[in-house]
Structure 1
Amino acid sequence: MSSGTYRNPVLNADWSDPDVVRVGDDFYLTASSFGRAPGLPLLHSRNLVDWTLLGHALDHLEPAERFAVPRHDGGVWAPSLRHHDGRFWIFWGDPDQGVFQINAPAAEGPWTRPHLVKEGKGLIDPCPLWDDESGEAYLVHAWAKSRSGVKNRLTGHRMRPDGTGLLDEGKVIVDADRIPGWFTLEGPKLYRHDGWFWILAPAGGVETGWQGAFRARDFFGPYEERVVLEQQGTDVNGPHQGGWVRTAAGEDWFLHFQQRGAYGRVVHLQPMRWDAADGWPVLGDDGAPVTEHRRPALPPGPAAPATASAPATDDDFPGGRYGPQWSWTANPGDGWTVPHAGDGLRLACVRSADAHDPRKLPNVLTQRLPGTPCAVEVDLRLDSTEPGARAGLVVLGDAFCWIGLQRGADGAVHLVHRFGESVAEAERDAAHARLAPDGRARLRIDIGPQARCRFTADTGDGLRPSGQVFAATPWRWVGALLGLFALAPPGGGEPGTAGGTRFRITAS
């Protein structure tokens, strides 16, 4: 690949349901975060290819008590990111509560608290539009059948210009049950272009579907449709949901995701143009996803990065703080991490009756599984002296596998390696326990093709293999996650802490 081209995916990890906006010469992207906190990640780029993670727009999910436990099929679904009236706006659907929005004067914040725009079950994938031509504001959303009994249709509303509410009861503006062959229409993104209202929306399911475009002269329709991106002869299955952006140089581009099993929904960048003959958008290579392509042309200004950049993964945890690449599996509790003067993460050993199933734990600090072969390492120390206290490094999905340290009834610390199948309610031993004489271990996971994970550990005598190969699995709507946790059995008193240092992910 030459310096003048890029190769897909441009974000090779689970940045699900991406949406993008340009402000000046800068591009910003957000993605679904479901039940994890903080949520609504915000990424920045100068060229649509190299991205860095700024942070998150949502500190915690509301109501707090509902998201005190993991809810991977709830929370933040398919956000839309817009810039209007000097502010950034993010709208998203919580399938159990309704449509929310937050806004801020800058991508870095401060962001307002979530405001409920429309209450209701099954309202998902909302997108606003402030129409500069008419001065009107609109909102379109899709439906989750699991909550509402309805899917495959898009509902449109007039919206208050300040984004605080809707001005009507809504109308179905696209009913895909009436379009032969179309099913599971969702993820609409709403635009105004060339005198038309445009909705870019995928259908056909995330693994096998296609990207559609709809246009109408009036917001409420009638709309005509066309398939504008589909797999064809490529290996990009179900090119799905994303957003259109125009660069300052006047080029059009489309960012969308591809479902890749345990790796989640990775993000591709497609060239886009408007057909001079009929005015419809043409994505990719005449409707097929591109693998490699010329980079976007940029206006004069700061040069593109000399080397490709991607959201950070490594962490030395300075002062006990973790970087923005980490999120908890639910709203965090007070005191789950302990600040201090040096480097390294100090995790409180949270007392839990669910210690034998990390899928149920809110206090797992996670980040995305990389989409390419890699090695994951962390140095772990168990300081808690309480029998049954444990800490570990986990690959977390519908099935899970972790390796770490546990304090025995005799006071000794053991290296343990455990796993749980997707249908299992508790963990099993993946390997025989062995002593960790100093209460420390260097833990390593080598992740190969098809997300097959090999575990090794060093307890003072060099890295030694542990257990069988574990094939990572997705976790409902998300890819597998890498996580750190510390636990103690139920009881009273101070359970103590565990420490993690030098977290690294290196390409294999």
Structure 2
Amino acid sequence: MSRAWTADLGDGTYRNPVLAGDWSDPDVVRVGEDYYLTASSFGRRPGLPLLHSRDLVNWSLIGHALHHPATDGEPAAPRHDGGVWAPSLRHSGGRFWIFWGDPDQGVHQISAPDIRGPWTRPHLLKAGKGLIDPCPLWDGESGEAYLVHAWAKSRSGVKNRLTGHRMSPDGRTLLDGGKVIVDGDLIPGWFTLEGPKLYRHDGWFWVFAPAGGVETGWQGALRSREFFGPYEEKVVLRQGETDVNGPHQGGWVRTPAGQDWFLHFQARGAYGRVVHLQPMRWDDAGWPVIGDAGEPVSVHPKPDLPPQPVTAPVADDRFPGGRHGRQWQWTAGPGTGWTVPHSGDGLLATCVRTGHAHDLRTVANVLVQRFAAPGFTATVGLALRSRASGAKAGFAVLGDAFSWIGLERKADGGVRLVHRYAEEAAERERDAAYSRPVPGTGRVRLRIEVSAGARCRFSADTGDGFRPSGEVFAAVPWRWVGAQLALFATAPPGARPAGTALFSDFRINA
């Protein structure tokens, strides 16, 4: 399996980002000698990715925690700006816990005895609009449990404040009506205070929370002797003279030897929110100092932990037995019968009948994975096995604008190579290049080359080598999600089954 980006430089140092994909709003926990990380998954399914490392630099995707809808009424359509926002990952009482806020529903939690599950079904801990970024704390000093969360103004009309609760130790009940423990409007220069992570250290309650906005903000730390405050604050990580914009929102973790580290994201436009690892220490006044004197590091000695094999989340997929790898998620659903298991390699995708095929942003049966690096080439094979007029399947770059190349069955029974796109404000796709017939068996190899600035060049091989198609497409993110590589198969509305498309040998090379 190829990996387009690795952070381990092989000489005892690492480079940032340690995770070059869109692992938004990361949180991390150590259990024994193992480190685990989760991230926002918004409306994609399965949700809540789970990553594992033993040195905080080399990470592998080991699964997902959320396979069930949070509520029975959860919509089947894509929710690109809804769903799972900013989860917190903790280990307490012999169980792993994940709390997250759905801005349209409220605060949920799940738990499991093992990181690989089985995970409980989602429990709605606090219902309400705009409740986001929750984090629990089981206080080993007092035996009490607490919860803190932030607010989304888009749903509640409230922002820039953190609300705290006492919580039952089983994480299922809040024991009070909640109190604002930090009001960002009262802190000079602070705005968009959100993403709190709650800790107990050196006799203090600590809230690590970002402020200043996703693209331009900083990391703050707040402390109080009492959970409900009052808190004093300090900026502990900012861009400074570096090229790392908005370094903030993440989690603090301590190694068995007592070294402290902080994992946070950086928003990189179409590439999404990539994850950086920063050294952390405590100054004489007891405040954390993150990075190099409060500014992000680009290259740094690795944590003092046992050497590990150089690795990164896998991107390639041969789809053995018709199953896709963990790196893929559906934009909604998934629905029954969207793929067909079989004995060989290749993803046999059902051409799902839909009236939304002219706009991939609204289609549920789209399989996506993150951009793997700042520059890479992705290739996949495709055979359209549908005889339904108007059936199509393709390989896309998907965001608020999208572009795809693939195959379409025409009314005369022929198969043509097509390349289409839609701008951000457009409600339907249009041609990016002239279509052309596909000779012979109707198989094609499709390629997307991504260069600096997320500029995407599409090409196809219909039997005579790869030929470029259309103009360069500049990828853009969704509202909170980086642009993604996508596979899809659709057909126009109708009563009869529309057949399948076979995707094969998906590869990414840097």
Q: TM-score range by the shorter chain?
A: over 0.9
Q: Which residue of 2 aligns with 1:304?
A: 308
Query: Matched residue of 2:207: which SS?
Result: strand
Q: Does 1:489 align with 2:492?
A: yes
The question of whether the paired residues in 1 share the 8 Å contact of 2:315 and 2:372 is answered with no
SS class of match (2:182): strand
Q: CA-atom RMSD, angstroms?
A: 0.8
TM-score normalised over the length of structure 2: 0.97
1:479 to 463, 479, 482: 482
Measured against aligned partners, the alpha-carbon deviations of 1:219-243 in whole angstroms (never above 9, x if no partner) come to: 0000000000000000000101000
Within-5 A mapping of 1:88-167:
88-167=96-175
The one-letter code matched in structure 2 to 1:175 is D
Q: 2:355 aligns with which of 353, 374, 386?
A: 353
Corresponding residue for 1:462?
465
Q: Deviations over 1:83-134 (max 9, x none)?
A: 0011000000000110000000011000000001111110000000000000
Report the alpha carbon displacement of residue 340 of structure 1 after superposing the two structures with TM: 0.4
Q: Report the equivalent of 2:383.
A: 381
- TM-score when normalising by structure 1: 0.98
Contact persistence 2:68–2:122 (CA under 8 A): no
Q: Take 2:321 and 2:73, find their aligned partners in 1: how far apart are those partners?
A: 29
Correspondence 1:449 to 2:457: no
Distance 1:204 1:250 in 2: 30
The SS at the match of 2:194 is coil
**Are 1:61 and 1:75, in contact at CA under 8 Å, matched by a contact in 2?**
no
The answer on whether the counterparts of 1:417 and 1:432 sit within 8 Å (CA) in structure 2 is: yes
Query: Residue 270 of structure 2 aligns to which amino acid in structure 1?
Result: A
Question: How many Å apart are 1:6 and its aligned residue?
Answer: 0.4
**Preserved CA contact (<8 Å) 1:61 1:67:** no
Residues 373-402 of structure 1, C-alpha deviations (whole Å, 9 max, x = no match): 000000000000111000000100000000
Structure 2 residue aligned with 1:396, among 395, 398, 421? 398
C-alpha separation in 1, matches of 2:156 and 2:287: 33
Residue by residue over 1:280-317, the C-alpha shift from the partner in whole angstroms, topping out at 9 and shown as x without a partner, is: 0000001000001010002xx6x311xx2111110000
CA drift of 1:420 comes to 0.1
How far the C-alpha of 1:461 sits from its partner, in A, is: 1.2
Q: What code does the residue aligned with 2:499 have?
A: G
Instruction: Select the residue among 195, 199, 208 that pairs with 2:207.
Output: 199
1:466 and 1:395 mapped to 2: Cα distance?
Answer: 14
Q: Which amino acid aligns with 2:233?
A: E
- The equivalent residue for 1:315 is 317
Q: Which runs of 4+ in 1 moved over 4 A?
A: none
> Residue 171 of structure 1 aligns to which amino acid in structure 2?
K
Q: Deviations over 1:56-105 (max 9, x none)?
A: 00013233543300011110000000000110000000001100000000
User: What is aligned with 1:412?
Assistant: 414
Where do residues 128-277 of structure 1 align in structure 2 (5 Å cutoff)?
128-275=136-283, 277=284
Q: Percent same amino acid among aligned pairs?
A: 72
Total equivalences in the alignment: 501
Q: Give the Å deviation of 1:369.
A: 1.2
For structure 2, the residue ranges without an aligned partner over 5 or more in a row are 1-8
User: 1:27: which partner in 2?
Assistant: 35
What is the Cα deviation at residue 2 of structure 1?
Answer: 5.3
56 and 167 in structure 1: CA distance in 2 versus 1, 3 angstrom threshold: same
Partners of 1:497 and 1:56 lie apart in 2 by 27
Give 5+ residue unaligned stretches, structure 1: none
CA distance in 2, matches of 1:210, 1:381: 48
After superposition, give the CA deviation of every residue in 1:402-456 in whole Å (9 maximum; x if it has no partner). Answer: 0000000110000000000000000010000011122211000110000000011
> Is the 8 Å Cα contact of residues 64 and 331 (structure 1) preserved in structure 2?
no
Counterpart secondary structure, 1:68? coil
